[in-house]
């Protein structure tokens, strides 16, 4: 089964790792912007974006994987003068803004998130929206309220790292939910329970493979064990993602 992994951080992976993922079925992946320390300078993120769109895309190509960059200011690495970054986000080619979202839900995080959502609405750009491990239900609620208040288009938001506790609310609000199969996030069994209950139309799947230890082929393995109609499995594996990100 070929899989479009909608959320990785390719920078945390060697070129041999990317080759292994490509050989295992991950033909395409969105690599999300993230800087693993809080940058002291907004300029660092501008060069980071160019690194993703040039170097990482080329590294993916040489490994046999199509890497599509998602760019933006992650809530865990907001630099001083972040408005400089958001003000120049339009200049870079990317398939989505991401990952953006909330971690603690602080005032500055909300400001950074909202400004990026407004730009996304203007540009008709999909957004990959991070939800945190801590206070997941509460912060997901806060994110959905922000999206609703903005009248954010339903087909432009993937609310990511969804769980059995948050998926219903995300789907009710009309957005896509991202299922992250990884230790500490969803198990393959949880993915199975979720799609058994809610179907396949509003989900994408990802591994969040990056700087931490990871099961690189978690997405492929999670889908291959599911006993559903092939057409449904393909929606989860790549068809929904192709529709969202290939506009």
Which residues of the shown chain bind a second copy in the complex (CB under 8 A)?
11-17, 35-37, 39-41, 43-44, 46-48, 50-51, 54-55, 59, 211-213
Q: Which is nearer to a second copy, 131 or 209 (CB)?
A: 209
CB of 189 or CB of 212, closer to a second copy: 212
Smallest distance, Å, CB 136 to a second copy? Answer: 25
Concatenating the DSSP letter of every residue in the chain gives --EEEEEE-GGGS-HHHHHHHHHTTEEEEEEEP--SS--S-HHHHHHHHHIIIIIIHHHHHHHT-EEEEEES--TT-PPTTHHHHHHHGGGS--SEEEEEE-SS--HHHHHHHHHHHHHHHHHT--EEEE--STTHHHHHHHHHHHHHHHT--GGGEEE-S--TTTHHHHHHTT-EEEEEBSTTSB-HHHHHHHHHHH-STTEEEE---SSS---TTHHHHHHHT--S-HHHHHIIIIIHHHHHH--
Q: How far is the CB of 192 from a second copy (least distance, A)?
A: 27
Between residues 76 and 243, which has the closer beta carbon with respect to a second copy? Answer: 76
Q: Which is nearer to a second copy, 17 or 224 (CB)?
A: 17
**Min dist. Cβ of residue 94 to a second copy (A):** 16
Please state the closest distance from residue 86 (CB atom) to a second copy, in A. Answer: 17
């Amino acid at each position: 089964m070929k899989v479009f992994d909608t959320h990785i951080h390719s920078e945390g992976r060697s070129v041999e790792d990317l080759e292994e993922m490509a050989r295992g079925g991950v033909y395409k992946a969105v690599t999300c912007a993230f800087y693993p320390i809080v940058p002291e300078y907004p300029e660092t993120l501008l060069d980071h974006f160019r690194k993703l769109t040039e170097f990482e895309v080329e590294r993916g190509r040489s490994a046999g994987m199509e890497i599509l960059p998602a760019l933006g200011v992650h809530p865990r690495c907001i630099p001083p003068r972040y408005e400089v970054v958001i003000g120049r986000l339009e200049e870079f080619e990317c398939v989505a803004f991401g990952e953006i979202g909330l971690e603690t839900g602080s005032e500055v995080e909300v400001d950074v998130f909202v400004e990026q959502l407004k730009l996304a609405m203007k540009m008709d750009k999909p957004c990959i929206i991070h939800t945190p491990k801590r206070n997941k239900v509460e912060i997901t609620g806060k994110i959905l309220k922000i999206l609703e208040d903005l009248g954010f288009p339903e087909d432009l938001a993937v609310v990511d790292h969804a769980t059995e506790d948050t998926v219903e609310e995300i789907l009710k609000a009309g957005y896509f939910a991202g299922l992250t199969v990884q230790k500490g996030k969803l198990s393959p069994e949880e993915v199975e329970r979720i799609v058994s209950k809610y179907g396949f139309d509003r989900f994408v799947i990802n591994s969040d493979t990056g700087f931490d230890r990871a099961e690189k082929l978690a997405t492929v393995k999670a889908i291959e064990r599911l006993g559903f109609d092939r057409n449904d499995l393909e929606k989860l594996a790549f068809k929904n993602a192709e529709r969202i990100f290939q506009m």
